[in-house]
Structure 1
Amino acid sequence: MQALSPLRLVTGLIAALLLLTGCSNSTLKSVWRDNQDNGITPRKLVVFVAAKDDNLRRMAENRVVQSLPAGYGASAGHTLDVDPLLESASVRERLTAGGYDAALVARLVSVDTSQTVVPPQTQVGPDLMFRRFGPRYSSFYTFYPYVYTTPGYTVNNTTVVVETLLYRLPEGKPVWTAVSETLNPRSSAQVIEELIKLVGGKLRDEGLLPIR
């Protein structure tokens, strides 16, 4: 097998690091809860995702409902043909008449882009090849450190900010909110899956969603 040159090894390491920086991760930036809320887990929940793309809305609402325990009273908003206008008394009355005592609403706040410039860097390290022979077959200079320079590059970052709110019905009063950030997502579906785990997990920890 042909040995890789030190330059090719270094280039491979840089490529691996770039792939790692391209991986997405979601974090909760802020969480608020109404201290006056009764803290009771909703018995029947409706899920709304505010998205301009109707297909995305349907997919996201369905995935949230599917993530909840089987048999739990949860419905996707699009299946009820109801707009997520909880400030409207008529919408709240219709949902309450259907037995819903809470609504979970997620909305996109922003999609921000930025660039990070990483300048060229000079590194000093041992011979990565080590000549594969050992000192018996090579001179001392084989093991002497060498200097190499990695080229500069630009990293493009995308940050998706989503706000999630839990409302009690029939009051239509928000009792829990969270703002999340997802860095460098590969797709909308990935953002949804990560937030289901992150936000859903937080709501379960606080007793506002049933444990699956």
Structure 2
Amino acid sequence: MKKNLSILSLSLLAVMLSCSPSIKILGSWTGPSTPPEGYSNIFVTALTDNILARQTVETDLDNLLLEEGVNAESSFDILPPGFKSSGVDKEEVLRKIRELGSDAILTVAVLDQTNETRYVPGSTMYSPMGYGNYGRFWGYYNYYNPVMYDPGYYTTDKNYYLEANLYDAATEELVWSSQSETTNPSSIETFSRSFSTTIINQLIKDGLLAK
């Protein structure tokens, strides 16, 4: 019974882990002209035509910045859904961003998406025990047969490569950039929370946020 409960616990853990996207920073760069005190008011925009994804990511980034004591503004009021940069007065957009008090602009974009098929090998369970505990054939067979062997299988991982850039609002100069990889996001909500936390932690680590 204990063995069956242990197997059930491991199975539930595997399901829980599979629902949580794997996100890692592949690299980050900080420019030489970054203000030593960091930025205190950041304009956030996710570069995607998917309105739900854009709103979810921007909201999560805004909330996490606010928790760190940094003012944050979402792009929806200035860059509405369907907004295209062609034919738009750049200076007018930048003026509106600066009027919000933003001293930096954080952008998020998906660079690439790949599929990777891999083989997950099976496993065989073996727990030595005294011959006296084997009992009769059918009891032994019925106990071990369902759990002795877990066959291998093929699975396809979806990998997304993202880039987050931070620009100085006054000069438009790129002052920070990071690239990250996300594997198997189960939903935009779970991805956004994990991704936003990863990005904000990297900004803090690299000294881009005002204390």
TM-score for both structures, normalised by structure 1: 0.74
Cross-structure match for 1:19: 15
CA contact (8 A) 1:93 1:170 kept: no
Cross-structure match for 2:126: 125
Cross-structure match for 2:74: 76
Cross-structure match for 1:157: 157
- Aligned-pair Cα RMSD in Å: 3.4
CA shift for structure 1 position 50: 0.9
Cross-structure match for 1:42: 39
The change in CA–CA distance for 1:60 and 1:21 in structure 2 (over 3 A counts) is: closer
Cross-structure match for 2:115: 113
Count of paired positions: 195
The change in CA–CA distance for 1:206 and 1:164 in structure 2 (over 3 A counts) is: same
Task: Indicate yes or no: 2:93 matched with 1:91.
Answer: yes
The change in CA–CA distance for 1:13 and 1:153 in structure 2 (over 3 A counts) is: farther
Q: Distance in 2 between matches of 1:72 and 1:119?
A: 47
CA shift for structure 1 position 31: 0.6
CA contact (8 A) 1:118 1:152 kept: yes
Give SS of 1:79's match: coil
Higher relative contact order (CA 8 A, sep 6+): 2
Deviations 1:87-145 (A, max 9, x none): 94443233224432110111111222221123556x47225xx5xxxx6xx62767xxx
Please tell me whether Structure 1 or Structure 2 has the larger radius of gyration of its CA atoms: 1
Gaps of at least 5 residues in structure 1 are none
Counterpart amino acid of residue 19 in structure 1: V
Task: Report the identity percentage.
Answer: 19
The change in CA–CA distance for 1:169 and 1:120 in structure 2 (over 3 A counts) is: closer
